[in-house]
């Protein structure tokens, strides 16, 4: 009996174990259960959201929420101004948004603490002394060291590429290297801003001035973060205008000696406390599962940050307001995160990732709008083929506003680590031909924004986020 | 006999008188003798210039003069910088051009003295203190008075039109009037820059800040001349950026109190001596008759004046060089005039008109390029119907570069008085969609210019000037 009983118990325990394993597999595979479902069925499920999508669009584009994201952004921007990492203005911006999101009646509004860089520009100026006196419009680059108090006066060496700098390395000692690299694309050309100083320092330069990374200029300098390479002397570095870089290369080609006096009071102060700002609509069925919408709250210390990334902030807030206004509550949680300190390299978002990555299996889709909120053209998406196929169906819901395109390469400094870890990611692609004209310059103001375009962006953001958060299953990975 | 002799003498004297009158009429009607010639014959005459036109085009666009006007302008601009009326830089520019035209081997190079205004900007700044602290980018307007040394601090009243200012006149006393007029066209909208200060002063304002007259901005202020009306208090006035004007109108609509602190060190010093700079190719048959080509040498004290009006200067010089290079000498004199002090309202050109108007019957055609030297679209022309018909034939010679359009309304501050007095006038129309983006701002630099486009402009300028100067007759009036 014992034997029989033992066998019987053994059989029962085997069955239980099998059930347990199956249950476990089911549990773990639940986020991927769309894997086995035919797309035609998923399409039908998504098609049922047509009415809801239309209601969201109507509210955002034609209804009482018309122009709301623009008006909110205008009031926020006009009240706070720019808000660079580490500044009191960024603290003000976070408080403003915390209060605004709370007052708007969103759920679980809270702040999540992070440490962020505190670089300050100080007084800065550059004057070309030879071949003639000319004041250069400059903007020191984030993380740059300053000059000695009296500034640096040195002859200029103009190069048009890193290759030219290497070839002419022997000429660089004691010089201010001016990079007049052509604008190819932001992704490619920003290398000069990011590492121009260290490359120049390696060959003995005392400072570097970098042509602003923009395809168009009205003598407008554009700032941005730069990175010193380890073990390389840290030299002061700033952007100059396209116009002045082009002038100096003409002078150099004529064999004229160029001398510049550069003064920069830039310094890096100790890191400060800051916060990622969070608001939610809690999911009705799977509150632990998250569709994350985001933009970053910090900006540069020039311009107003209305475009980079006020627009992304505004539509990530607006999307939740629209869904709430319609009395909708998706199965999963919609979470808007307004990142702190994106400009120094996604600093706030990197800490968020560390704080939340243990929960990565519950992140359904991460979205960021940080490329402008002009007229929307489509959604850039990173994810598996099956997830892409599903997202294409979701985008069809935006046919009423003709924004059905699903493109490659979801991107966003603040969501990249999630995508690298396998979470599907999406970014908003808008008619951004002029984005880099204003980017990181005094031209980043509310005048760049257009209420009608922001209505459309908000509608796209809300429809995508809501539908993905409400589908039967999470997006497959 | 006496009687017979007397009658005989009388008859002879009558014949002589008649001949004299006829000769005189012929003499006076000579400039108009195309009046009676059929257009078909004139067309044939003009058509014979096809080869010469092609040679000019070849030299300017494809030959050894390719890019010369651009290179000359670049070297001039890079050497001198900007050159505002009354400045030492304008003196330098005149000397530079006198030497360059002489060195180029042009004829009768000389300077003609004029008196010009000497307004200086001084230090200037504007800070919005309420509802938040924000530095306004400003440019004081030419002829503006300064503020008291400590500046002016006052509440702002934002209006969007002169009509609104009049309706709300009772609110203006003691305020700084901010004009946020929309950009309609330069011709229409510049009224706010030109007379915004006096209109504001009439209703008791203490200063006026005017939205820059441009359809596009990267937070770029644009300066320009303004005129105080007689008997109206003279208040300080400056342009602000489109962005800041739009921000302040948003704040005003929200009912927010706006306070600005404005400091301007502007002052008008005594007039100074200056010169219109002249170079010629003397006519072979009618050296006293003139086709005048022109641009103005002065600029604003911001930017480099490479566009306004470096381009016009460069092609008006280049046209003569091209004709000289080809060994051509037209029947009439080609005269290039580089005006002094156009920006304060055509001051140098007005004195030139006074100095030369006695000779007006010998002015065949007056040309000015002061609207940009982008890709040429055609020639704007003011003149009689017959003159227009002839000019249309001349423009056909430019078919090889597809610039055959003859448009209405020749214009140019420096040639308007000649046209009003009946002299045919022409101005260059180019693809100037972005002209006012840069106009009177720091964005007016060599980066605006394109060598290929300037080649084409030079060819148009040279062909038109040469052919008109070489025709059998002057243009009819």
How is B236-256 classified by DSSP, letter by letter?
Answer: -EEEE-HHHHHHHHHHHHTT-
Shared-domain flag, residues A387 and A417: yes
A332-339 β-sheet, strand order:
A107-120, A267-281, A332-339, A286-296, A363-368, A425-430, A376-382, A405-407
Residues 6+ apart with CB under 8 A from A443: A220, A303, A437, B217, B218, B219, B220, B243
Which percentage of chain A shows pLDDT scores above 70? 93
**How many CB atoms are closer than 10 A to CB A157?**
24
Rg (CA), chain B: 26
User: Is the bond preceding residue A167 a cis peptide, omega within 30 degrees?
Assistant: no
Q: What is the ipTM of this complex?
A: 0.92
Domain end, chosen from A223, A242, A265, is at A265
pLDDT on residue B36: 84
Nearest CA in chain B to A303: B219
Tokens read off for B35: 């009046």
Separation in Å, CA B43 to CA B52, B286, B472 = 15, 22, 12
CB contact under 8 A, A243 and B441: no
Using a CB-CB cut-off of 8 Å, the residues of chain A touching B254 are 75
Tokens read off for A330: 């998706």
Domain end, chosen from B265, B300, B320, is at B265
Shared-domain flag, residues B371 and B281: yes
Whole-number Å distance between alpha carbons of B214 and B189: 9
Domain end, chosen from A265, A300, A325, is at A265
- Round the average pLDDT of chain B to a whole number and report it: 94
Instruction: Name the minimum distance, in Å, from the CA of A131 to any CA of chain B.
Output: 8
pLDDT on residue A35: 82
pLDDT on residue A10: 56
Instruction: Name the minimum distance, in Å, from the CA of A107 to any CA of chain B.
Output: 28
Q: Is the pLDDT of residue B17 over 60?
A: no
Asked if the C-beta of B250 comes within 8 angstroms of chain A's C-beta atoms, the answer is: yes
- Residue to substitute from B219, B241, B244, B442, interface A, most A β-carbons within 10 A: B219
Shared-domain flag, residues B336 and B221: no
Residue A21 lies in a domain: no
A-B contacts at Cβ under 8 angstroms? 82
Whole-number Å distance between alpha carbons of B155 and B385: 55
Among B228, B78, B209, residue whose Cα is nearest residue B138: B209
Q: Is the pLDDT of residue A29 over 50?
A: no
Using a CB-CB cut-off of 8 Å, the residues of chain B touching A446 are 243, 246-247, 250
Shared-domain flag, residues B333 and B238: no
Band (pLDDT 50/70/90 cuts) for residue A188 is very high
Nearest Cβ partner of A445 from B75, B219, B443? Answer: B219
Q: Is the pLDDT of residue A30 over 70?
A: no
Query: Pick the catalytic residue: A199, A280, A318, A342?
Result: A342
DSSP symbol at A86: T
Shared-domain flag, residues B281 and B414: yes
pLDDT on residue A15: 52
pLDDT on residue A472: 97
User: pLDDT tens, A377-389?
Assistant: 999 999 999 999 9
Q: Which residues of B are catalytic, by number?
A: 342
Nearest CA in chain B to A251: B78
**How many CB atoms are closer than 10 A to CB A71?**
15
Separation in Å, CA B322 to CA B69, B94, B431, B460 = 10, 22, 23, 11
pLDDT on residue A16: 52
Nearest CA in chain B to A134: B81
User: pLDDT tens, A44-65?
Assistant: 999 999 999 999 999 999 999 9
Instruction: Name the minimum distance, in Å, from the CA of B455 to any CA of chain A.
Output: 19
CB contact under 8 A, B137 and A442: yes
Asked if the C-beta of A132 comes within 8 angstroms of chain B's C-beta atoms, the answer is: yes
Provide DSSP, A227-262.
-PPTTS----EEEE-HHHHHHHHHHHHTT---EEEE
Using a CB-CB cut-off of 8 Å, the residues of chain A touching B219 are 220, 303, 441-443, 445
Interface of B with A in 435-474 (CB under 8 A): 437-438, 441-443, 445-447
Shared-domain flag, residues B208 and B126: yes
Of A4-8, A30-34, A250-254, B161-165, the range with the lowest mean pLDDT is A4-8
CB contact under 8 A, B446 and A250: yes
Shared-domain flag, residues A369 and A380: yes
Asked if the C-beta of B134 comes within 8 angstroms of chain A's C-beta atoms, the answer is: yes
> Do the Cβ atoms of B340 and B116 come closer than 8 Å?
yes
Nearest Cβ partner of A78 from B220, B250, B446? Answer: B250
Shared-domain flag, residues A242 and A331: no
Asked if the C-beta of B246 comes within 8 angstroms of chain A's C-beta atoms, the answer is: yes
CB contact under 8 A, B131 and A219: no
CB contact under 8 A, B217 and A79: no
Q: Is the pLDDT of residue B24 over 70?
A: no
pLDDT on residue B279: 99
Shared-domain flag, residues B290 and B429: yes
Residue B2 lies in a domain: no
Instruction: Name the minimum distance, in Å, from the CA of A254 to any CA of chain B.
Output: 9
Nearest Cβ partner of A442 from B133, B219, B247? Answer: B219
Whole-number Å distance between alpha carbons of A219 and B443: 5
pLDDT on residue A11: 56
Residues 6+ apart with CB under 8 A from B222: B139, B212, B213, B214, B239, B436, B439, B440, B441
User: pLDDT tens, B194-228?
Assistant: 999 999 999 999 999 999 999 999 999 999 999 99
pLDDT on residue B13: 57
Whole-number Å distance between alpha carbons of B86 and B476: 38
User: pLDDT tens, A393-424?
Assistant: 999 999 999 999 999 999 999 999 999 999 99
Tokens read off for B151: 């500046």
Band (pLDDT 50/70/90 cuts) for residue A8 is very low
Nearest Cβ partner of A218 from B80, B220, B243? Answer: B220
Q: Is the pLDDT of residue A158 over 60?
A: yes
CB contact under 8 A, B220 and A217: no
Q: Is the pLDDT of residue B9 over 50?
A: no
Whole-number Å distance between alpha carbons of B236 and B205: 10
Among A401, A375, A378, A435, residue whose Cα is nearest residue A186: A435
Q: Is the pLDDT of residue A185 over 80?
A: yes
Residue B11 lies in a domain: no
Band (pLDDT 50/70/90 cuts) for residue B16 is low
Residue B22 lies in a domain: no
CB contact under 8 A, B446 and A242: no
Tokens read off for B46: 């003009």
Residue A4 lies in a domain: no
Among A272, A217, A281, residue whose Cα is nearest residue A244: A217
Residue B348 lies in a domain: yes
pLDDT on residue B241: 98
**How many CB atoms are closer than 10 A to CB A120?**
16
- Residue to substitute from A243, A245, A444, interface B, most B β-carbons within 10 A: A243
pLDDT on residue B8: 45
Q: Is the pLDDT of residue B4 over 60?
A: no
- CATH number of the domain encompassing residue B151: 3.50.30.30
User: pLDDT tens, B37-81?
Assistant: 999 999 999 999 999 999 999 999 999 999 999 999 999 999 999
Whole-number Å distance between alpha carbons of B144 and B230: 14
Mean pLDDT of the B7-27 span: 49
CB contact under 8 A, A220 and B217: no
Band (pLDDT 50/70/90 cuts) for residue A255 is very high
Using a CB-CB cut-off of 8 Å, the residues of chain A touching B242 are 447
- CATH number of the domain encompassing residue B465: 3.40.630.10
Tokens read off for B212: 């820059």
pLDDT on residue B146: 98
Shared-domain flag, residues B334 and B195: no
More confident residue, A28 or B458: B458
Instruction: Name the minimum distance, in Å, from the CA of B458 to any CA of chain A.
Output: 22
Structural domain boundaries, residue A59: 40-119+270-470
Q: Is the pLDDT of residue B433 over 80?
A: yes
Mean pLDDT of the B21-29 span: 45
Residue A19 lies in a domain: no
Using a CB-CB cut-off of 8 Å, the residues of chain A touching B80 are 132
Q: How many CA atoms lie within 13 A of A158 on its CB side?
A: 23
User: pLDDT tens, B106-127?
Assistant: 999 999 999 999 999 999 999 9
Shared-domain flag, residues A390 and A294: yes
Provide DSSP, B132-163.
S-EEEPEEEPBT-----TT-EEEEEEEESSHH
Instruction: Name the minimum distance, in Å, from the CA of A400 to any CA of chain B.
Output: 31
Nearest CA in chain B to A249: B78
Per 3-state DSSP, what percentage of chain B is helix, strand, and coil (rounded to 5)? Answer: 45, 25, 35
Nearest Cβ partner of B246 from A242, A443, A447? Answer: A447
pLDDT on residue A465: 99
More confident residue, B16 or B136: B136
> Do the Cβ atoms of A298 and A151 come closer than 8 Å?
no
Of A31-40, A156-165, B128-137, B277-286, the range with the lowest mean pLDDT is A31-40
- Round the average pLDDT of chain A to a whole number and report it: 94
Using a CB-CB cut-off of 8 Å, the residues of chain B touching A247 are 78, 445-446
Mean pLDDT of the B406-429 span: 98
Residue A477 lies in a domain: no
Q: Reduce the DSSP state of residue A185 to 3 states and report it.
A: coil
> Do the Cβ atoms of A368 and A337 come closer than 8 Å?
no
Provide DSSP, B317-382.
HHHHHHHHHTT---SEEEEEEEES--TTTSHHHHHHHHHHGGGGGGEEEEEE--S--SSEEEEEEE
Tokens read off for A58: 């109507």
CB contact under 8 A, B247 and A78: yes
In chain B, the number of structural domains is 2
Mean pLDDT of the B280-305 span: 98
Tokens read off for A276: 């990622």
Shared-domain flag, residues B165 and B75: no
Q: Is the pLDDT of residue A19 over 60?
A: no
Which percentage of chain B shows pLDDT scores above 90? 92
Residues 6+ apart with CB under 8 A from B387: B381, B424, B475, B476, B477
């Amino acid at each position: 009996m014992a034997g029989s009983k033992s066998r019987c118990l053994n059989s029962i325990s085997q069955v239980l174990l099998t059930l347990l394993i199956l249950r476990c597999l089911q549990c773990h595979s639940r986020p991927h259960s769309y894997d086995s479902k035919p797309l035609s069925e998923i399409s039908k499920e998504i098609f049922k959201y047509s009415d809801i999508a239309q209601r969201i669009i109507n509210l955002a584009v034609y209804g009482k929420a018309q122009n709301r994201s623009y008006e909110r952004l205008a009031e926020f921007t006009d009240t706070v101004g720019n808000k660079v990492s580490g500044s009191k203005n960024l603290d003000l911006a976070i408080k403003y948004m915390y209060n605004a999101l709370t007052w708007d009646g969103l759920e679980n509004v809270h702040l999540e603490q992070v440490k962020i860089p505190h670089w300050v520009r100080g007084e800065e100026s550059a004057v070309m002394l030879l071949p003639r006196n000319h004041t250069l419009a400059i903007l020191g680059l984030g993380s740059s060291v300053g000059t000695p108090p009296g500034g640096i006066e040195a002859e200029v060496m103009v190069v048009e590429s890193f290759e030219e700098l290497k070839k002419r390395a022997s000429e660089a000692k004691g010089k201010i290297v001016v990079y007049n690299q052509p604008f190819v694309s932001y992704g490619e050309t920003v290398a000069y801003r990011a590492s121009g100083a260290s490359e120049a320092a390696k060959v003995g330069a005392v400072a570097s001035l970098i042509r602003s990374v923009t395809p168009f200029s009205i003598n407008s300098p554009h700032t941005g973060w730069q990175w010193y390479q380890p073990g390389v002397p840290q030299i002061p570095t700033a952007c100059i205008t396209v116009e002045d870089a082009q002038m100096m290369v003409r002078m150099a080609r004529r064999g004229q000696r160029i001398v510049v006096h550069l003064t920069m009071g830039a310094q890096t102060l100790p890191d400060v406390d800051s916060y990622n700002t969070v608001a939610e609509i809690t999911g009705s069925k799977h509150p632990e599962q998250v569709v994350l919408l985001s933009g970053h709250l910090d900006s540069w210390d020039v311009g107003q940050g209305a475009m980079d990334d006020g627009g992304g902030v505004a539509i990530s807030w607006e999307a939740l307001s629209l869904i709430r206004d319609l009395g909708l509550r998706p199965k999963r949680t919609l979470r808007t995160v307004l990142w702190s300190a994106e400009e120094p390299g996604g600093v706030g978002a990197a800490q968020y990732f560390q704080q939340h990555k243990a929960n990565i299996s519950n992140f359904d889709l991460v979205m960021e709008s940080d490329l402008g909120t002009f007229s929307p053209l489509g959604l850039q998406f990173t994810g598996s083929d099956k997830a892409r196929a599903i997202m294409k169906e979701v985008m069809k819901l935006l046919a009423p506003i003709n924004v059905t395109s699903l493109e490659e390469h979801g991107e966003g400094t603040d969501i990249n680590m999630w995508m690298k870890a396998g979470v599907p990611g999406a970014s908003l692609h808008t008619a951004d031909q002029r984005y880099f004209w204003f980017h990181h310059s005094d031209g980043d103001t509310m005048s760049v924004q257009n209420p009608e375009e922001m209505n459309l962006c908000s509608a796209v953001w809300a429809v995508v986020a809501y539908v993905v958060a409400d589908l039967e299953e999470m997006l497959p990975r």
